[in-house]
């Protein structure tokens, strides 16, 4: 599943202001308020309630006691089950937001309604009506709609009588004789023979069970209460009223619901499932499958049914097992939901600070959150005691600057660095001198590329083969096109040695030596804590990006900026990589192969250097991304045909 879709997936709760539009009798929402249909905000079953407070009262005559089941046994014993009902559940609070969610159609008698449509299909799939209520395709006669005997169904009864099986399948829809003489009667009657008419749910009034499954008592608009019908969950699952009904019921049964949830969380099945999530022994596909199977409405309905059972000191193994299963799924669903929220926040954070690139963040590999403790930079910063000069002593006078003018551009080995399309013309390792703040030219000067920022569309993603996060392009990048700059904190050599040892211990390094001029350069760029998207570029032995040293307003030879350019045309979807050990002799680029000795300061990336030997560091790292092979070097997983099999 693509992440964008997953965000839609989690944001499917109905909008408050604009009720969903029903276009035809075709099904718009295929099934139920499952995981997919719940918004992040309305997730918690027993969230603190505020707003209107109402008290539900229950006529004694409505209360029927659940008869003990003989066929099913549950595993739990309820010690506090015989508390008086009223002392347990004193007051129900109804959330104001929930009340707003209910898109209502005022009826002449002042009631609110939601519509149900009955289509010819016997597959009971609710769809939303333009009134904001729900349309349910009701089945033809003989299918599974349950009709209650007029004087059997209690309104909001708080015990849990199971519906007599004999009632099932009878009297599917109120017929002519029982429907009374309303204007809808004809419509309703004709539905039993031509099941394509719409019916309006006025209210969901009760929940009971048939055997082990929940059923809902539906009051139809324009029909007497005696003609209420019992509907299975699948028939009412996308009705907005169901959400309100279940929420109210859960609040009503909160005392028992909390105890049931507690008990489930101590059960072996639940603990095992939790463990498999925590130690990552479930594959991501298995986890996603769990989310698809998770039905929040079913869980809520079961919790209510189980509450009724518990209050009556009764048991039902099937309902219990379903609750355990759905709570396990909820666990994983919640983790993914939280992860997606974090990814989304991280994406917003990056894009808010990234001046020119556009970046999507996704993880379709595991439940890992995006890196925390990482501060996005627009430009290099310096550690204490180091200052980055920002006042170039000279600038050029030519305007416009181009290949024919003798200006800063020509300092780059006597050749203007960029083509008219602003593509890099220099060989790997050549220095780039862009026009600076002292130059007479304006911001559109051909020799101002790195300083104007890259314009790529990128995705930060979790790699599938243990290399941690990586970056791929969402649009073609052309050979020589500027991508972005490796930003970080400029630190001293000694500090880099110290930090390098720490990074080695976790198997990730973000240290980049600024040793363009000589290997004794006193500075290193560290992008571990401060950096930009390029800190996620992985190594490849067959890279598609190169890194060049660039001088703009800071002309200190020891403090170049590091700029990524495409080494070739990079296709949509390709990961952006560079060679962590590229070094450049005067004429060639070569790979720097680690020897046996230790570099002491840990793994470092090397820019394309101007003839200096890159020091080689043998890895002493371990961790989930970088793996030590038997020779003690970090295994490379770039997958290219010419892979050297190690990075450090």
Ligand X SMILES: C[S@@+](CC[C@H](N)C(=O)[O-])C[C@H]1O[C@@H](n2cnc3c(N)ncnc32)[C@H](O)[C@@H]1O
For the CB of residue 552, give the shortest distance to ligand X in the complex, in Å: 23
Q: 380: burial class by Cβ within 10 Å (0-12, 13-18, 19+)?
A: buried
The token duo for 501 is 């040892």
Helix 240-252, helix 254-266: angle, nearest 10: 90
Contact between 638 and ligand X by CB under 6 A: the answer reads yes
- Whether the Cβ atoms of residue 386 and residue 431 lie closer than 8 Å to each other: no
Contact between 647 and ligand X by CB under 6 A: the answer reads yes
Contact between 533 and ligand X by CB under 6 A: the answer reads no
Contact between 219 and ligand X by CB under 6 A: the answer reads no
Contact between 536 and ligand X by CB under 6 A: the answer reads yes
For the CB of residue 537, give the shortest distance to ligand X in the complex, in Å: 6
> Which sign does the torsion angle of CA 141, 146, 147, 149 carry?
positive
Contact between 468 and ligand X by CB under 6 A: the answer reads yes
Q: Say how far apart CA 234 and CA 219 lie, in whole Å.
A: 17
Contact between 507 and ligand X by CB under 6 A: the answer reads yes
Among 510, 516, 530, 564, binds ligand X (CB under 6 A): 510
Q: Which CB atom, from 176 or from 645, has the smaller least distance to ligand X?
A: 645
Q: Say how far apart CA 444 and CA 429 lie, in whole Å.
A: 25
Q: How many of the chain's residues bind ligand X (CB under 6 A)?
A: 18
Q: Which CB atom, from 231 or from 575, has the smaller least distance to ligand X?
A: 575
Contact between 508 and ligand X by CB under 6 A: the answer reads yes
Residue in the block written with tokens 């495409």: 566
Q: 452: burial class by Cβ within 10 Å (0-12, 13-18, 19+)?
A: middle
- Reported in sequence order, the residue ranges of 494-615 that DSSP labels E, i.e. its strands, are 511-513, 523-526, 530-531, 538-539, 545-551, 561-566, 577-578, 582-584, 589-591, 605-606
- Hey, how many other C-beta atoms are within 10 angstroms of the C-beta on 212? 18
For the CB of residue 549, give the shortest distance to ligand X in the complex, in Å: 18
Stretch that binds ligand X, among 103-111, 334-342, 461-469, 545-553 (CB under 6 A): 461-469
Q: Which CB atom, from 146 or from 527, has the smaller least distance to ligand X?
A: 527
For the CB of residue 638, give the shortest distance to ligand X in the complex, in Å: 4
In eight-state DSSP terms, residue 573 is T
In eight-state DSSP terms, residue 499 is H
User: What residues contact 145, with CB distance under 8 A and at least 6 apart?
Assistant: 124, 138, 139, 172, 173, 229, 230, 231, 232, 235
| Binding residues among 147-186 for ligand X as defined by CB under 6 A | none
Q: Which CB atom, from 235 or from 534, has the smaller least distance to ligand X?
A: 534
For the CB of residue 580, give the shortest distance to ligand X in the complex, in Å: 7
Q: Which CB atom, from 270 or from 646, has the smaller least distance to ligand X?
A: 646
For the CB of residue 291, give the shortest distance to ligand X in the complex, in Å: 25
Among 189, 336, 535, 604, binds ligand X (CB under 6 A): 535
Q: Which of 16, 190, 1, 180 is nearest to 95 (CA)?
A: 16
For the CB of residue 343, give the shortest distance to ligand X in the complex, in Å: 14
Contact between 359 and ligand X by CB under 6 A: the answer reads no
Q: Which CB atom, from 202 or from 347, has the smaller least distance to ligand X?
A: 347
Q: Which CB atom, from 325 or from 647, has the smaller least distance to ligand X?
A: 647
Q: How many helices (H) and strands (E) does the chain have?
A: 13, 28
Contact between 374 and ligand X by CB under 6 A: the answer reads no
Stretch that binds ligand X, among 3-11, 95-103, 280-288, 531-539 (CB under 6 A): 531-539
For the chain, how many residues are written? 648
| Binding residues among 601-630 for ligand X as defined by CB under 6 A | 625-626
Q: Which CB atom, from 218 or from 625, has the smaller least distance to ligand X?
A: 625
Q: What are phi and psi of 621, to 5 degrees?
A: -95, 160
Contact between 636 and ligand X by CB under 6 A: the answer reads yes
Contact between 229 and ligand X by CB under 6 A: the answer reads no
Residues that bind ligand X (CB under 6 A): 467-470, 507-510, 535-536, 538-539, 625-626, 636-638, 647
């Amino acid at each position: 599943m693509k992440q964008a879709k997953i965000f839609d997936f989690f944001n499917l709760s109905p909008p408050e202001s604009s009720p969903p539009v029903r276009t035809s009798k075709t099904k718009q929402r295929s099934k139920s308020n499952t995981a997919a249909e719940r918004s992040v905000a309305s997730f918690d079953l027993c969230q603190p309630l505020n707003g209107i407070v109402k008290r539900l009262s229950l006529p004694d005559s409505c209360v029927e006691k659940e008869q003990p089941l003989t066929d099913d046994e549950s595993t739990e014993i309820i010690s506090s089950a015989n508390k008086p009902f009223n002392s347990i559940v004193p007051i129900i609070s109804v959330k104001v937001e929930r009340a707003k969610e209910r898109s209502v159609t005022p009826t002449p008698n002042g009631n609110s309604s939601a519509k149900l449509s009955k289509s010819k299909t016997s597959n009971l799939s609710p769809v939303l009506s333009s009134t904001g209520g729900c349309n349910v395709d009701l089945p033809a006669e003989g299918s599974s709609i349950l009709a209650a005997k007029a004087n059997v169904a209690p309104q909001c009864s708080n015990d849990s009588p199971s519906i007599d099986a004999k009632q099932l399948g009878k009297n599917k829809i109120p017929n002519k004789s029982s429907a009374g003489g309303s204007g809808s009667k004809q419509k309703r009657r004709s539905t039993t023979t031509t099941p394509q008419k719409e019916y309006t749910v006025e209210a969901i009034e009760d929940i009971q069970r048939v055997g082990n499954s929940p059923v809902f008592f539906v009051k139809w608009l324009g029909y007497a209460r005696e003609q209420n019908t019992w509907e299975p969950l699948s028939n009412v699952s996308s009705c907005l009223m169901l959400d309100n009904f279940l929420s109210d019921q859960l609040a009503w049964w909160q005392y028992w619901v909390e105890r049931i949830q507690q008990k489930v969380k101590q059960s072996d099945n639940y603990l095992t499932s939790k463990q498999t999530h925590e130690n990552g022994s479930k594959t991501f596909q298995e986890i996603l499958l769990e989310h698809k199977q998770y039905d929040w409405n079913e869980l809520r309905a079961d919790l209510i049914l189980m509450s009724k059972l518990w209050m009556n000191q009764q048991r039902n193994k099937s309902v219990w097992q379903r609750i355990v299963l759905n709570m396990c799924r909820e666990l994983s669903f919640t983790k993914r939901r939280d992860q997606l929220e974090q990814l989304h926040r991280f994406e917003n954070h990056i894009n808010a600070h990234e001046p020119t690139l556009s970046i999507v963040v996704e993880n379709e590999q595991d439940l890992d959150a995006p890196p925390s403790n990482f501060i996005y930079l627009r430009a290099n910063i310096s550690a204490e005691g180091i200052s980055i000069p920002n006042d170039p002593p000279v600038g050029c006078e030519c305007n416009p600057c181009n290949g024919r003018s003798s200006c800063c551009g020509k300092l780059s080995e006597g050749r203007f660095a960029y083509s008219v399309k602003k593509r890099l013309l220099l060989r790997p390792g050549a220095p780039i001198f862009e026009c600076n703040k002292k130059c007479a030219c304006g911001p559109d000067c051909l020799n101002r590329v790195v300083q104007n920022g890259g314009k790529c569309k990128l995705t930060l993603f979790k790699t599938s083969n243990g290399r941690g996060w990586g970056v791929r392009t969402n649009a073609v990048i052309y050979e020589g096109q500027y991508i972005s700059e490796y930003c970080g904190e400029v630190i001293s050599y000694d500090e880099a040695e110290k930090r390098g040892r720490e990074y080695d211990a976790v198997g990730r390094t973000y240290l980049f030596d600024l040793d363009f001029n000589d290997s004794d350069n006193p500075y290193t760029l560290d992008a571990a804590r401060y950096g930009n998207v390029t800190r996620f570029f992985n190594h490849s032995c067959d890279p598609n990006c190169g890194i060049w040293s660039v001088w703009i307003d800071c002309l200190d030879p020891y403090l170049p900026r590091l700029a990524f350019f495409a080494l070739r045309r990079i296709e949509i979807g390709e990961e952006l990589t560079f060679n962590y050990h590229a070094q450049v002799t005067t004429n060639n680029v070569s790979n720097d192969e680690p020897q046996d000795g230790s570099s002491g300061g840990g793994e470092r990336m090397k820019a394309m250097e101007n003839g200096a030997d890159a020091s080689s560091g043998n890895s002493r790292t371990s961790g989930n991304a970088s793996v030590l092979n038997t020779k003690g070097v970090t295994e490379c997983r770039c997958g290219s045909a010419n892979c050297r099999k190690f990075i450090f």
